[in-house]
Structure 1
Amino acid sequence: MRTLTGRTALVTGASRGIGRAIAERLAADGALVAVHYGRDEAAAKDVVATIEAAGGRAFAVRAELGVPGDVDTLVDGLRAGWAEFGADGLDVLVHNAGIGSTGPIEAETEAGYDRVFAVNTRAPFFLTQRVLPLLRDGGRIVTVTSGATRIAFPESIAYAMSKGALDTLTPALAKHLGPRGITVNNIAPGIVDTDVNASWLRGNPQARAQAASRAALGRVGRPDDIADAVAFLASDDARWVTGTTLDATGGSEL
């Protein structure tokens, strides 16, 4: 079903993993998708090519997040991409881009801490602020947070804190934008088989079994598990859902 035909979407961090799956799913549902990436242009172009080969529409937007001028660069690229397709507004904003932290509190540095918050928390806050005039009434904002805000992961404490801040932002923003019919929700993945987790998860049956055992459904998550849930929150079917977090951990640590 092409439930997003005629609408536009921006997915940050969409060149790989969960972000790529989200971009491909929203495009399959009919949206014109801006595929944001930070550095890997080839990967972003591959996402665009895959979407186009399936009959969808997309374009790549480069902007490194967490640095001065990041939001300006991204929005300028977004506008340029829209111009090529005759689009002039945003319907779905998906905050997916994020980075991990360096370890437990003993190992964290001030520079690492600041970087995690700059990318994971500051960038989505100010990107949202900047695109609000472009976001159409009845639009959708979906933020990829983490099951680590509910489940203790002391080995990634700064990362969990940065995502926890987004958990606080969402209900406040939902209340603020409710009069415009804009819904604001989070989706919280658990352990997902992506390149980020490849070094310890792939090719290590013991680690994979351990990760799978955390979930009530008994397996490690896949990027499409998250993308399908995001597609629901971006659709009209979720019109009465706002200000909340959808747990997509497969029932981890229940």
Structure 2
Amino acid sequence: MWAAGEAYEPYVGRWSRLVAARFVRGLDAAPGGSWRDVGCGTGAVTRAVLDAARPAAVVGADPSEGYLAYAREHVRDPRARFVRADAQHLPFADATASAAVSGLVLNFVPDAPRAAAEMVRVVRPGGLVGVYLWDYGEGGMEAIRAFWDAATALDPAARALDEAVRFPLCNRTALGALLAGAGLADVETEEIRVPTPFPDFDDYWTPFLGGQGPAPSYLAALPEDHRAALRERLRDRLPRAADGSIPLHARAWAARGHRPA
């Protein structure tokens, strides 16, 4: 499902970068130190750490060779390197990082508590752990929410694939509880809301044809006539500004805490 950075970027990556920048700034971490970006994908969070946190080094880890290749190509900085790794089995020694972060990943990890525990393991006592995820419910990630509302209206069976149904971790309470359960102290959560405007319908629709993520994967499996019906339903129901653009927003939930000293 997650393999090609070129398809991911117009679908979610361009909006993830906006959230990543605000997320890293909100961590208010001291400059320097060694960071780990768990599930680094195309490198959005790594880039934000490099720009906003002024680290000595960042290591991004992801299981997808396609995403790692994209990150290496687009995040060219001597402080950054990328390795292939599973979030549930990080290839880093205990207590060797000053911070571990993860963006838009833990809901896709089979054992999210194990991944959170791994992030805690690799940071030093007093070190920082921070994560964020999209909110797929009402008022959350509106571009994807609109897709599933339209898909379910035409095909009730689509509800079982809806991220809002599949990923109960993607809310403030569950995300904070995940980090607290991993043993972090002083856990805090926050809402991050960003504009996600589309200049026209094609800019909204075309990224869903890239096959990256649950909604595009569902779309790719539909017969052509069903796909066309879904496209036209969305075209009719998405909000429009006077200039024809589609003014949407996205909400992510972020959580952070410190490994007890």
TM-score with structure 2 length normalisation? 0.49
What runs of 5+ residues in structure 2 fail to find an aligned partner?
1-20, 140-144, 153-157, 198-203, 211-215, 220-227
Alignment partner, residue 12 of structure 1: 39
What is the rounded CA distance, in whole Å, between the counterparts of 2:41 and 2:186 in structure 1? 26
Q: Do 2:176 and 2:187's aligned partners in 1 also have CA atoms closer than 8 Å?
A: no
The 5-angstrom pairing of residues 13-162 of structure 1 reads 13-15=40-42, 20-29=43-52, 30-31=54-55, 32-41=57-66, 43-52=67-76, 55=77, 57-63=79-85, 71-72=88-89, 75-76=90-91, 78-79=92-93, 88-97=96-105, 120-136=108-124, 137=126, 139-148=128-137, 153=149, 154=152, 155-158=158-161, 159-162=163-166
The letter of the residue matching 2:133 is V
The whole-number CA distance in structure 1 between the counterparts of 2:100 and 2:234 is 34
Which residue does 1:197 correspond to in 2? Answer: 208
* More strand as a share of residues: 2
Which of 247, 254, 260 is the aligned partner of 1:219? 247
CA separation in 1, counterparts of 2:110 and 2:240?
30
Contact preservation (8 Å) 1:142, 1:186: no
**Which structure 1 segments of 5+ residues have no match?**
65-69, 99-118, 240-254
Task: From the superposition, tell whether residues 89 and 211 of structure 1 become closer, same or farther in structure 2 (CA, over 3 Å).
Answer: farther
Q: Residues 177 and 128 of structure 1: is their aligned pair in 2 closer, same or farther, counting only changes over 3 Å?
A: closer
Residue 186 of structure 1, CA deviation: 6.9
1:123–1:177 Cα change, 3 Å? closer
Report the alpha carbon displacement of residue 134 of structure 1 after superposing the two structures with TM.
Answer: 2.4
AA of the residue aligned to 2:116:
T
User: Contact between 1:71 and 1:130, CA under 8 Å: does it hold in 2?
Assistant: yes
Q: 1:122 is matched by which residue type in structure 2? A: P
Aligned-partner Cα distance in 2 for 1:95–1:27: 15
The answer to whether the 8 Å contact 2:88/2:114 transfers is: yes
**Higher relative contact order by CA 8 Å / sep ≥ 6: 1 or 2?**
2
> Which protein is bigger by CA-based radius of gyration?
2
Which residue matches 2:176? 171
- Computed over aligned residues only, the root mean square deviation of the Cα atoms, in angstroms, reads 4.8
> Which AA in structure 1 matches 2:247?
R
SS in 2 for 1:122: coil
Hey, what does 1:111 align to over in structure 2? none
Change (3 A) 1:196 1:184: farther
Per the normalisation by structure 1, the TM-score is 0.50
